[in-house]
Structure 1
Amino acid sequence: MTAVQDRDAVVLPPVAAVYRSRSVVELKEFFRQRESVVFTLAFPVILLVVFGAVLDYDIGAGVSFTQYFMAGIVAAGILGASLQNMAISIATERSDGTLKHLSGTPMPKSAYFVGKVVQVLAVTVLIVLILLAVGRLAYGVPLPSGSDWFTFLWVAALGSSACTLLGIALSSLAKNGRSASAMITPIALVLQFISGVFFQFSQVPTWMQTIAALFPLKWMAQGLRSVFLPDVLAAQEPAGSWELGRVALVLGLWCAAGLVLCVLTFRWQDRGTD
């Protein structure tokens, strides 16, 4: 009897292989959805082209608005690839039964999240490279140099992590997949408007600045401005400096808070289903 059981036992693949396989699936699924690809990758580029062509004026210290806008649109691109992408795609997969099916398979549940994280990382890198290339080639925006690259990388990494975790948590707020986009997209747009993406942050009303400071996008954009802008423009920030230490602290706290929210709120099925 033991020999029969041993012969019939299912041999599961190594966890690393499952993670790799799930990551490939997530990437294929994303790039097969043309609407998601166009919105996530093309929309920030279109905004950069339009704003760069229309609002190419000097904001001081020989800096054009396009150079200022580069930091904001990169931050917005990261937000789209992480928070919006995660919240909408997970809500859709929960609604169409994909999550329920996956939760009933031998696949470790952690593999699903690993695949999502790999997808966000790949899309984030792609959109950042495209934006940097367009900004440099079309508008002559200077690229980071020296230690600025290190700042760019840690701000982008922390911001992406915080927004990814927040997106996973927000996916549970949507009643179903159909309502996810209608709920998440306005939230993202409002955050962009009050966080210094489309305007100089110093021009945003003080009460909006206060609200924006509660969310990671404002701090990610501020950290990226320190990379693309000369230090003399730090005086235009609310605190009169780039506050990189506070940027790291707030984004780190959002990563921790996002993880807690994911654990508390994540569901494998829509509300009201068995």
Structure 2
Amino acid sequence: MKKIAFLLFFLLVCSSFMFCQVQKNSLEVINTYPPQSYGNSYDYLSPEESWRIHKAAYIKQLKSKGLTDEEFKESMITYEKDKQEFIERVKEQHRLAAIQREKDAKQRAKDAIQREKDAIQREKHAIQREKDAIQREKDAAQRAKDAIKREMAEAQRKKSQEWRNNAENILIENVSLSNRNNIKSIPFEVTYKTTLRIGIRAHISSGTTLIEIYNPEGTKEGELSLEHKSKSTSSADSEFLKKTSGALDKTISGAEVGEWQIKITSKKSEGTVAMSVAQYVKSTMDE
């Protein structure tokens, strides 16, 4: 009974040792077998060249493990069986690498086109910024001009308002002109040195008319000359179009004291002349 038990124990130990040895050899074969992915190191070689290089490396790896001739031979037989699979994998890698290179080339071309577009866009933006800067300068200059105009208009408005508040009319008269030669003088008196504003409006339908302004010393201060030239007009034309009109507005600062005259000289002229003269009234403080 003891012998049988010892024999069973001996067989169990031997079988365990053999099983571990087989497992060890299998692991060694698996560990020394080339990896499933070879990367890009073989892309520049043909599949056969890749196989030869890898086979030489594999043989060197097996020899470094100190295998027996039988183990070495078995490993090489197993390795040779995977040659076609290896070559097919390398070919597939080459195919995928070629596709990737083509994609990369297309992407580089797209990137180059995009960079060119971006450069053009940047140039356009730079030009637009320059235009905007010029426009801003123009706008600023225009705003400055507008501000000056507003200041001038405001100053003129204040002057006009001051004039309206401190002016009095010293002459308002309408003169009718008959169709014959005539000279008429309309005098008005300035009692103190002041500013005068003289307004004259004239309309004639024939002849010529000369309107002159004279100061007390007999010096002419301004004139308005009208000459009517007959034009063929239809009945649909208004009466206004059949007339010759003119206007004279004169501001005289520091007008001399004395008698002023507005002289109207008409030759075969028919029409009307309206005139007004206003003077700036001194305040009590000015006096």
TM-score of the superposition, structure 1-length normalised?
0.25
Per chain length, whose mean CA-contact separation is higher, i.e. which structure has more relative contact order (CA < 8 Å, sep 6+)?
1
Tell me which protein shows more strand as a share of its residues. 2
TM-score of the superposition, structure 2-length normalised?
0.24
